[in-house]
Amino acid sequence: MHKLWLQSFSNEMPLLNSPEEVARWELSQFHDASFSVCLRPEMGDGFEIDGDIITGGPTGVLYGAYTALFSSLTGKKHLKMRSEPAYRLRMLDFWDNLDGSVERGYAGRSLFFDHGGLHYDPQRIRFLARLLASCGINAVCINNVNVLFEAQRLMEDLLPDVAELAGLFRPFGIRLMLSCDFALPIRHGLPTADPLDQTVQDFWRSIAEKIWNAIPDFAGFVVKADSEHRPGPFTYGRSHAEGANMLGDAVEPFGGVVVWRAFVYNCQQDWRDTTTDRPKAAYEHYMPLDGAFHDNVLLQIKNGPFDFQVREPISPLLLSLRKTHLALEFQLTQEYTGHQIDIYSMPGLFSETFAQIPRGQLSAVAAVANIGRDDNYVGHPFAALNLFAYGCMAWQPDLSPRQVTELWCHLTYPSLSASCEEKLVQLLMDSREIYEKYTAPLGLCWMVNPGFHYGPSPDGYEYQSWGTYHKADRNAVGIDRTAQGTGYVLQYPPEIQKRYADPAVCPDHLLLFFHRVPYQAVMSDGRTLIQRIYDDHFEGCEAVDAMSQTLCQIAPSLPEDDSRVCLDRMEKQKLNAREWRDVVNTFFHRLSGADDAKGRKIYD
């Protein structure tokens, strides 16, 4: 069994009952250091390390133990530190279905489900829980936010099985959540799911009671309502505050929360309609509701205004809501970023995103899991970095991408030489920008194959109903989202507006997100836009070749399985990069007629 970043940890953990027991056991296995543990219940998740003494709350001692052990493994001794998490709730959302499939999953089938019910290897679940705890994650939502019919049974006859699963996570300080279907009452014979209907409220209260009876530390619900054909309060003419608060009230007596996804937009837009601009949708919908949500309701907002594209500006809603509890949502599973075939490391994304959000603005963080039944849990061995970094940075958002990448490399491949480790760290650090260069240019987004979302299709979404257009023609490309255009930029605070609204100061990697730019326009570095597109794509592809060479140097030092998988997928990534380069360059060459200044091959 692959141990990911717990390489140096023992495999033989007995059944234990609490985070404190786990902490003590983990510490006891490392014989070159000896720690004592001191429990202070009031410290909660927090902990202090002072030399060989770890003091912390009921879960804090566990986080303290991993921190101390990771430090010890990286050669740091005599630590003196105090730590508590930046966000109380650090969630991992699985998009797993009961038939064992995983929506947007690239690491094998579900670890939890198969054949319409719970179906798992307890050993693997316990190891997963240990992995998650070791990087600070404290809640998992086990089923897809798109709650397919069967999954409703998790709150019904399958509840005892869910409770059993919760028991496997509990000693690791991890609480379970479930995605719920807003229309569940109707399945139970009620004539309506109207949140203001008393029988509906009673129904949810009784569901909550049953769940908390079975799972006393259950964390709460995740809800995707009125989004991409999911049912929701709109059906009954109610607001999302009314819908979410009704559920919030139902779980309130049990200390539960409702995580309400803000992913609401018109997914049946007419491409001819230029008055609707999808990135504006969430802000327009939720800003008027600021202050209307109850205290145990969290609004979960994706990092960008679209949907986990390779590069998006931060969602303006994350910056603007003042009286609503917010959860920031990332996507670890690489739906748009290479399907865990291509290397795309996210610490930089996490860091940049957290840096833009004022301290105190968020109550929670969430991420869509990249996990499945593959031996290494994540498909590509290096994709584990994204999971690890997410956990670490959800705890401590100001960790630098390099710090966390180095730590992950060292823990995962402890026997790597310093020079190999440095090469691997740099490869991972560079991977995001490289992926960006050979795929969609300069913030365009959505040039992927529809549905599948791997590989290029420049016009693939151009005439569809998803509100995702670039409107490339023979002269120019991009959407004007300034005040003169769709006005999207006006949703940002004034100082950010200024940066994005002026093409002269707008960061290059978002230029075509905010502006419509002629191919012959001259960019800040003196190149034309079209030349920049060509250059990025040629350079991105060359960089993958260079990355491949570096990987070949590192590979002999990696464990055999990792080496094989990495090299095999790198061959696919090279093909993918070449495909992106040529398709995007040809697409824009056909439109613009502009030749490459450097005379490189662009196909007809």
Interface residue with a copy of itself among 284, 459, 545, 568 (CB under 8 A) is: 459
Instruction: Specify the residue for token string 């009954």.
Output: 236
Instruction: Tell me how long the chain is.
Output: 604
Provide the mask over 483-512, with x wherever binding to a copy of itself is found by CB under 8 A and - wherever it is not. ------------------------------
Provide the mask over 413-452, with x wherever binding to a copy of itself is found by CB under 8 A and - wherever it is not. ----------------------------------------
Residue type, 563: S
Interface residue with a copy of itself among 76, 474, 498, 564 (CB under 8 A) is: 474
Would you say 12 and 28 are in contact if contact means Cβ atoms under 8 Å apart? no
Give SS3 for 83.
strand
Q: Which residues pair with 54 in a beta bridge?
A: 37, 49
Nearest 10 degrees: CA dihedral of 510, 514, 515, 521?
A: -20
- Comparing CB distances to a copy of itself, the nearer of 557 and 586 is 586
Interface residue with a copy of itself among 457, 497, 548, 563 (CB under 8 A) is: 457
Q: Using the 8-state DSSP alphabet, how is residue 288 labeled? A: G
- Comparing CB distances to a copy of itself, the nearer of 257 and 472 is 472
Instruction: Quote the CA–CA distance of 68 and 50 in Å, as a whole number.
Output: 10
**The pairing of beta strand 364-368 with beta strand 325-331:** parallel
What does residue 50 show for φ and ψ, rounded to 5 degrees? -135, 95
Instruction: Quote the CA–CA distance of 121 and 135 in Å, as a whole number.
Output: 22
Kindly state the smallest distance separating residue 440's Cβ from a copy of itself, in Å.
Answer: 14
Cα torsion angle, 547, 549, 552, 558, sign: negative
Provide the mask over 206-245, with x wherever binding to a copy of itself is found by CB under 8 A and - wherever it is not. ----------------------------------------
Residues 562-601 close enough to bind a copy of itself by CB under 8 A: 579, 582-583, 586-587, 589-593
Instruction: Specify the residue for token string 């075939």.
Output: 341
Only one of the segments 70-78, 396-404, 418-426, 473-481 lies at the binding site for a copy of itself (rule: CB under 8 A); that segment is 473-481
Kindly state the smallest distance separating residue 459's Cβ from a copy of itself, in Å.
Answer: 4
- Comparing CB distances to a copy of itself, the nearer of 474 and 600 is 474
Give, in degrees to the nearest 5, the angle at Cα 373 between 367 and 379.
Answer: 70
Cα separations (Å) of 480 from 22, 96, 266, 490? 54, 38, 20, 12
Interface residue with a copy of itself among 19, 456, 467, 503 (CB under 8 A) is: 456
Only one of the segments 19-27, 393-401, 454-462, 564-572 lies at the binding site for a copy of itself (rule: CB under 8 A); that segment is 454-462
Provide the mask over 526-565, with x wherever binding to a copy of itself is found by CB under 8 A and - wherever it is not. ----------------------------------------
Residues 326-365 close enough to bind a copy of itself by CB under 8 A: none
Kindly state the smallest distance separating residue 147's Cβ from a copy of itself, in Å.
Answer: 26
Instruction: Specify the residue for token string 């998490």.
Output: 85
- Comparing CB distances to a copy of itself, the nearer of 187 and 463 is 463
Interaction of residue 463 with a copy of itself, rule CB under 8 A:
yes
Kindly state the smallest distance separating residue 500's Cβ from a copy of itself, in Å.
Answer: 22
- Comparing CB distances to a copy of itself, the nearer of 475 and 524 is 475
Cα Rg of the chain (Å, integer): 24
Q: What is the set of active-site residues?
A: 228, 307, 335
Interaction of residue 101 with a copy of itself, rule CB under 8 A:
no
Would you say 407 and 74 are in contact if contact means Cβ atoms under 8 Å apart? yes
Interface residue with a copy of itself among 460, 467, 478, 540 (CB under 8 A) is: 460
Give SS3 for 222.
strand
- Comparing CB distances to a copy of itself, the nearer of 82 and 471 is 471
Kindly state the smallest distance separating residue 267's Cβ from a copy of itself, in Å.
Answer: 17
Give SS3 for 516.
coil
Q: Report which secondary-structure segment, H or E, holds 591.
A: helix 560-592
Provide the mask over 249-288, with x wherever binding to a copy of itself is found by CB under 8 A and - wherever it is not. ----------------------xx-x--------------
Q: Give the binding-site size for a copy of itself (rule: CB under 8 A).
A: 26
Could you tell me which residues come within 8 angstroms of residue 394 by beta carbon, excluding any fewer than 6 positions away?
85, 86, 87, 90, 136, 137, 365, 367
Residue type, 126: R
Kindly state the smallest distance separating residue 281's Cβ from a copy of itself, in Å.
Answer: 21
Cα separations (Å) of 88 from 38, 212, 423, 469? 21, 20, 35, 38
- Comparing CB distances to a copy of itself, the nearer of 149 and 603 is 603
Kindly state the smallest distance separating residue 603's Cβ from a copy of itself, in Å.
Answer: 5
Cα separations (Å) of 178 from 14, 94, 214, 476? 28, 10, 13, 46
Kindly state the smallest distance separating residue 485's Cβ from a copy of itself, in Å.
Answer: 12
Kindly state the smallest distance separating residue 457's Cβ from a copy of itself, in Å.
Answer: 7
- Comparing CB distances to a copy of itself, the nearer of 555 and 583 is 583
The closest of 435, 456, 443 to 529, measured between CA atoms, is 443
Instruction: Specify the residue for token string 């920008």.
Output: 433
Instruction: Quote the CA–CA distance of 466 and 461 in Å, as a whole number.
Output: 7
Kindly state the smallest distance separating residue 541's Cβ from a copy of itself, in Å.
Answer: 14
Interaction of residue 458 with a copy of itself, rule CB under 8 A:
yes
Retrieve residue 227's tokens: 């989004």
Contacts with a copy of itself, residue ranges (CB under 8 A) = 271-272, 274, 456-460, 463, 471-475, 579, 582-583, 586-587, 589-593, 603-604
